[in-house]
């Protein structure tokens, strides 16, 4: 009886297991959406774009925290992949490589997408898509109703303001460069360094404004412009570092270079140019090498310009090739300014007994130059320090909008600091008046010369006429005599 009971229980268990297995086999798979409708489309700037190459099947990631190595994938038969976005109001990207709070994972049973801070999303509340032909799938949660339009309007307004202020700065930078280039009195070592700084900023702002207005993602011009922006911004900060160093050198007590003053300035400018332009070119060459060299490790931090935008793809790359060097330069400038300020205070205290002496005049001159560069450092240093902080902490506070606008208006601020000065305006007025006077005097000289020539010509003509008349009279008298 026990044996029969055991066999009966075993049969029942077998039947139950069989039924459960059959139910599991027949259960419908969870549907996960692909953002674009066609298998040959990927997302470029949140727009489905056709690519002329065969793409591998889209795979659903298990998780993504933005850190290498690449995350794993669910088995291909875990979900049903449905083409087309389920989001009527649009979607937004999760970027774990830039924002730690965007890290997520996808449950294999329910298909639910769980994030660290952005919330949880059911399978019908997000979609997956590539942002590059060879890129892995990224998650795009749906926006709530009417949120897409309001967010797009805000972004468009910000970009319009930034682009306008960037383009507005460029003419002021060009005018500043032109003023210092035209006035011989300003083309000393400090003036030439400022011209190089202003020229670099003008190039950077021009291409940055172009990228924000045109946004040529996916084209070669996008990558080329990004490299130019990187190079010119680094060059502008390096020339600011040169000006700070030269001011520090003046008060450091080090022995000057050999030769007279003009030769010293010429040698210094050559050395400074090698440093500023050379370091900018070196960083750009390293960036190019890391991007295009086949010998670079796959796990290395690459710039990846143009992958999703006309700038660095990852936060690590932005720090390594851009914000890192700028941060070092800003910190060194701050140390040199503190040292120079202390030295100026000491020299002014020592020069109080030398009223009216040449030493006091030199101190006053260097103090004025220090204040000019200090204003420039405040304009660039404080604004860019705020830029680095907001970038580092992923802050979207409205206070950073003010500093961003301050950054884009630096051309106007530099113009007001270095051109709108009594001495520069006086020299400019003198130059313009001198040119006008020379033009007028030139015309007057030519006119008076013409007048004198005319008088001489008339006098000559009178003399010739009188001679001719006398000759003709003599001839007539001769004739009569004959």
Q: What is the 3-state secondary structure (H, E, C) of 377-446?
A: HHHHHHHHHHHHHHHHCCCCCCHHHHHHHHHHCHHHHHHHHHCCCHHHHHHHHHHHHHHHHHHHHHHHHH
**What confidence score (pLDDT) does residue 351 get?**
59
Q: Which of 145, 168, 199 is the last residue of a domain?
A: 145
Question: What are residue 114's phi and psi, to 5 degrees?
Answer: -115, 125
Pair (324, 372) in one structural domain: yes
Closest CA to 340 of 351, 352, 348: 348
Segment 258-277 mean pLDDT? 86
Q: What average pLDDT does range 88-111 have in this prediction?
A: 86
Integer Cα distance of 26 and 290 in angstroms: 51
Does residue 463 have a pLDDT over 60?
Answer: no
What pLDDT is attached to residue 454?
44
Residue 187, SS3 per DSSP: coil
Whole-number percent of the chain with pLDDT over 70 = 73
Q: Are residues 236 and 254 both part of a single domain? A: yes
- Write the CB contacts of 401 (distance below 8 Å, at least 6 apart in sequence): 158
Tokens of 335: 């140390």
Instruction: Give the domain-ending residue among 409, 431, 453.
Output: 431
Quote the pTM value.
Answer: 0.64
Q: Which of 154, 159, 171, 115 is nearest to 138 (CA)?
A: 115
pLDDT tier, 73 (very low <50, low <70, confident <90, very high otherwise): confident
For residues 32 and 163, membership in a common domain is answered with: no
Q: Are 253 and 108 found together in one domain?
A: no
Instruction: For the beta carbon of residue 446, count every other beta carbon within 10 angstroms.
Output: 10
What is the tally of structural domains in the chain? 2
Q: Which residues pair with 33 in a beta bridge?
A: 82, 127
440 vs 35, more confident:
35
Cβ pair 19, 27 in contact under 8 A: no
Q: Does a structural domain hold residue 346?
A: yes
Lowest-pLDDT choice from 55-59, 102-106, 168-172: 55-59
Q: Quote the pLDDT of residue 150.
A: 59
Is residue 455 a part of any domain in this protein? Answer: no
Spatial separation of the C-alpha atoms in residues 38 and 55, rounded to whole Å: 11
* Residue 126, domain CATH: 2.170.180.11
Name the residue among 190, 328, 373 with its Cα closest to residue 272: 190
Query: Coil, strand, or helix at residue 126?
Result: strand
Query: Does some domain include residue 303?
Result: yes
pLDDT one-digit tens code per residue, 176-210: 999 999 998 888 998 999 999 999 999 999 999 89
**194: preceding bond cis by omega (within 30 degrees):** no
Structure-model confidence comparison of residues 308 and 472, the more confident one: 308
Q: Would you say residue 71 has pLDDT above 90?
A: no
Which of 145, 163, 184 represents a domain boundary (last residue)? 145
CA angle 438/185/373 to nearest 5° reads: 145
The DSSP string of 247-298 is: HHHHHHTPPPPSS-HHHHHHHHHHHHHHHHHHHHHHHHHHHHHHHH-TTS-T
Residue 436 located in a structural domain:
no
Q: Are residues 342 and 426 in the same domain?
A: yes
From the list 285, 205, 280, the residue with the least C-alpha distance to 241 is 280
Looking at the predicted structure, is the pLDDT value of residue 245 above 80?
A: yes
- If asked whether residues 129 and 186 sit together in one domain, one would say no
Full domain range(s) for residue 397: 155-431
Cβ atoms < 10 Å from Cβ of 170: 18
Residues in the chain: 482
pLDDT score, position 417 = 87
User: Do 77 and 218 belong to one domain?
Assistant: no
Asked if residue 445 belongs to a domain, the reply is no
Residue 422 pLDDT level (bands cut at 50, 70, 90):
confident
- Do 191 and 332 belong together in one domain? yes
Regarding whether 117 and 190 lie in a shared domain, the answer is no
One domain, residues 230 and 315? yes
Is 4 contained in some domain? no
Residues 160 and 122 placed together within one structural domain of the fold: no
Locus of tokens 């910190």: 331
294: in domain:
yes
Tell whether the model's pLDDT for residue 64 goes beyond 80: yes
* Res. 366 pLDDT band, cuts 50 70 90: low
**DSSP character at residue 127:** E
Contact 50, 41 (CB under 8 A): yes
pLDDT score of 468 more than 50: no
Confidence of residue 441 (pLDDT cuts 50, 70, 90): low
Helix (H) or strand (E) holding 128: strand 126-130
How many C-beta atoms surround the C-beta of residue 451 within 10 A? 10
- In terms of domains, do 278 and 403 share one? yes
Q: In CATH, what number is assigned to the domain containing residue 346?
A: 1.20.1070.10
- What percent of the chain clears pLDDT 90, i.e. is strictly above it? 25
107, 61 Cβ separation under 8 angstroms = no
* Within-domain flag for 456: no
User: What's the count of helices (H) and strands (E) in the chain, helices before strands?
Assistant: 12, 10
Q: What is the mean pLDDT of the chain?
A: 77
Most confident listed range (19-23, 310-314, 323-327): 323-327
């Amino acid at each position: 009886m026990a044996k029969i009971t055991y066999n009966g229980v075993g049969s029942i268990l077998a039947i139950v297991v069989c039924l459960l297995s059959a139910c599991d086999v027949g259960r419908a798979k969870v549907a996960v959406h692909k953002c674009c409708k066609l298998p040959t489309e990927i997302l470029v700037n949140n727009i489905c774009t056709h690519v002329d190459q065969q793409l591998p099947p889209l795979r659903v990631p298990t998780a993504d925290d933005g850190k290498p190595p690449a995350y794993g994938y669910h088995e291909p038969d875990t979900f049903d992949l449905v083409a087309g976005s389920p989001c009527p109001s649009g979607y937004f990207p999760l970027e774990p490589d830039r924002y730690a709070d965007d890290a997520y994972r996808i449950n294999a049973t329910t298909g639910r997408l769980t994030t660290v801070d952005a919330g949880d999303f059911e399978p019908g509340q997000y979609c997956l898509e590539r942002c590059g032909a060879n890129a892995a799938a990224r998650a795009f949660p749906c926006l709530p109703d009417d949120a897409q339009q309001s967010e797009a309007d805000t972004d468009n307004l910000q970009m319009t303001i930034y682009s306008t202020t960037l383009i507005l700065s460029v003419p002021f930078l060009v005018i500043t460069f032109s003023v210092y280039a035209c006035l011989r009195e300003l083309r000393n070592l400090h003036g030439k360094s400022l011209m190089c700084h202003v020229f670099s900023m003008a190039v950077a702002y021009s291409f940055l404004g172009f990228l924000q207005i045109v946004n040529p993602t996916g084209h070669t011009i996008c990558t080329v412009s990004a490299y130019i922006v990187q190079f010119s911004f680094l060059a502008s900060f390096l020339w600011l570092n040169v000006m700070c160093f030269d001011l520090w050198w003046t008060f450091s007590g080090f022995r000057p270079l050999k030769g007279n003053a003009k030769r010293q300035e010429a040698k210094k400018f050559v050395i400074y140019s090698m440093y500023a332009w050379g370091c900018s070119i070196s960083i750009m060459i390293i960036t190019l090498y890391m991007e295009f060299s086949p010998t670079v490790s796959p796990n290395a931090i690459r710039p990846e310009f143009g992958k999703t935008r006309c700038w660095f793809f990852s936060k690590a790359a932005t720090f390594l090739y851009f914000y890192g060097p700028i941060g070092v330069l800003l910190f060194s400038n701050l140390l040199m300014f503190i040292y120079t300020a202390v030295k100026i205070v000491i020299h002014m205290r020592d020069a109080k007994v030398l009223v009216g002496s040449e030493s006091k005049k030199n101190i006053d001159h260097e103090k004025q130059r220090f204040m000019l560069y200090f204003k420039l450092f405040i304009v660039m240093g404080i604004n860019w320090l705020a830029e680095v902080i907001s970038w580092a902490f992923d802050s979207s506070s409205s206070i950073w909008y003010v500093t961003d606008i301050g950054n884009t208006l630096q051309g106007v601020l530099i113009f007001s600091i270095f051109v709108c000065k009594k001495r520069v305006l006086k020299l400019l007025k003198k130059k313009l008046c001198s040119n006008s006077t020379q033009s007028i005097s030139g015309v007057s000289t030519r006119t008076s010369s013409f007048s004198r020539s005319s008088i001489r010509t008339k006098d000559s003509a009178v003399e010739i006429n009188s001679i001719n008349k006398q000759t003709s009279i003599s001839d007539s008298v001769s004739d009569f005599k004959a």
